[in-house]
Amino acid sequence: MNKTKKSQDLFEQAQKIMPGGVNSPVRAFKNVNSSPIFIKSAKGPYLYDVDDNQYVDFIGSWGPMILGHSNPRIIKAVEEQLQLGTSYGAPTEGESKMGQLVTSVMPSIEMMRMVNSGTEATMSCIRLARGVTGKDKIIKFTGCYHGHVDSLLIKAGSGVSTFGLPDSPGIPKDLAQHTVTVPFNDIDAFENTYKSIKDDLAAVIIEPIAGNMGFIPGEIEFLKILREATNACGAVLIFDEVMTGFRVSLGGAQEIYGIQPDLTALGKVIGGGLPVGAFGGKREIMEQLAPSGPVYQAGTLSGNPLAVAAGTCLIQRLIELNPFEELELNAKFLLNGIKEVMIQKGMPFVSNQIGGMFGFFFAEQQPRNFEDVVETNDKNFEQFFKQSLDQGIYFAPSKFEAGFISTKHSESVLINVLSKIQAL
């Protein structure tokens, strides 16, 4: 009897209603030639599917479950707000309280505005950067995903940079031509591109620690060059910390690198598991937003009180606990254990971790960019993913995604995971 029969039945039904049977592409498990499991509930480090199978979860809703699933404090905060109402479309004290928490640990953010998703956050950063500079061109980096924004969903070609190649039908070529894609961690490629368009450069946007080509940290000298170059030409440096904000450290990747961007996009964690996003930065830039300034941005449900209650509770707890060193040690323990098993099986394996994020590849050397990730072994990853899932271990269903670890992934949980991987 198939132990995921209910999931398979639900997937067949879902495909009749939703494109690909999912509301976000990676959930479809196409990268691992499989079909998704449907989740019924979650608690601590565990997911439970509709067939009542238990999984140790290393996705954590792609970041926000840093204190584990169904955290009692967060549930209580949401329940208390629920009794007061679900949405007002009007200002609340909670929005300012969350803003004060964020600005207290991220010095580059002097003012912020809430939105409803990471995509909205990056989209708003781009519009604001163009508005304050009066320029059009954007530089982004291959493999850095900034949401499904037309200006940013651009494909890189085989050269050091590619002008005007949309990564999806539906994106006007005229718009795509304003976005230039450069290889990640490639100083020479960036400098060559920068010199050719600096006079019309509105912004450089980057995931300082990439989480959408696996887990690839930006190299410090590379990031410093971006800061120096944008300062020199008056462009806006945007850090997309939708995944890394409150995940790699309290102050995000910018705290780790000691580099302050002009604008920062946030999401996921600051909603405590509810849909949310935010962006913020220098006061003189943020004050150009309506109604203070001429750059228009709005959202009826921005600052939703339920999301604000959950996110505020989580951020407060993270400030109290500051669990990032322990999370990193636990992630390293897990990855080192997996590496020992893979070496025994004759499979090359490399990994990395910072705070509560991690990644691994079936490769001889640590990838530095998207092009390197493409070359890593697909067959080994797919085999490892499927065998792990069969053993109740839920890693991201794509080698192009990062992993996440929570405070509920205790030593005993991780030892049990490693014992199952040893038996693969």
Q: What are the pLDDT digits (tens) for 218-243?
A: 999 999 999 999 999 999 999 999 99
pLDDT confidence tier of residue 167, bands split at 50, 70 and 90? low
| Active-site residue list | 145, 240, 268
pLDDT score for 251: 97
Give the contacts of 393 (CB within 8 A, at least 6 positions apart): 55, 56, 58, 417, 420, 421
State the Cα angle at 257 between 187 and 223, rounded to 5°: 15
| Mean pLDDT score, 9-35 | 92
Farthest CA pair distance, the chain: 65
Supply the DSSP symbol for 82: H
User: In this structure, are residues 238 and 205 in contact, taking their beta carbons and an 8 Å threshold?
Assistant: yes
User: In this structure, are residues 146 and 321 in contact, taking their beta carbons and an 8 Å threshold?
Assistant: no
Asked if the peptide bond before residue 291 counts as cis, ω within 30 degrees of 0, the response is: yes
Give the contacts of 154 (CB within 8 A, at least 6 positions apart): 140, 162, 165, 166, 167, 171, 176, 179, 181
pLDDT in tens, 396-415: 999 999 999 999 999 999 99
Is the pTM above the cut of 0.85?
yes
| Mean pLDDT score, 207-226 | 97
pLDDT score for 168: 67
CA distance 67 to 64: 8
pLDDT score for 189: 96
CA-based nearest residue to 202, from 154, 165, 251, 151? 151
H or E element: which one contains 164?
none
The larger pLDDT score, comparing residue 152 to residue 194, is at 194
Domains and CATH numbers, the chain: 5-58+323-422 (3.90.1150.10), 72-321 (3.40.640.10)
pLDDT score for 1: 39
CA distance 391 to 394: 9
pLDDT score for 163: 47
| Mean pLDDT score, 248-258 | 98
Whether pLDDT at 50 is above 60: yes
